[in-house]
Amino acid sequence: MIGNVPDIITISKWTENRVQDRLIARIISKTTITPGLLHRFNLHPDPLCIVCNENDDISHILLKCKKYASFRVILWNKLNTVEPNITYDVLLSHVFTNKN
């Protein structure tokens, strides 16, 4: 653990799957490849979500994007939370607590 954030060794014990380990690490570090992230490095012309017209980063995808609303319901159920205005940090704390 690094502060409240698990390191890759801790994550790998949860999943036992290298692909999932990398994905979780990228979500935690906000380095999941999205138009918003690519735009920061001048690799994508527009950082905005084509559905919501907001910055299309991992926080937007997980917490706000209308396109992923049905998946969000599944995530909230899996994490046993119903917080409509949850922040990214609170979401991660639920993930670290549940480890599912």
pLDDT, one tens digit per residue, over 18-59 is 787 788 788 888 889 999 999 999 999 999 999 999 999 999
49 touches 65 (CB < 8 A): yes
Higher pLDDT, 5 or 18: 18
Higher pLDDT, 91 or 36: 36
Number of H helices, E strands in the chain: 6, 0
Quickly state the pLDDT bin for 6 (edges 50, 70, 90). Answer: low
pTM for the structure as a whole: 0.75
- Give the H/E segment covering residue 64: none
Instruction: Tell me the torsion sign for CA atoms 93, 30, 36, 78.
Output: negative
Q: How far, in Å, are 6, 12, 16, 28, 88 from residue 21 at the CA level?
A: 11, 6, 8, 11, 19
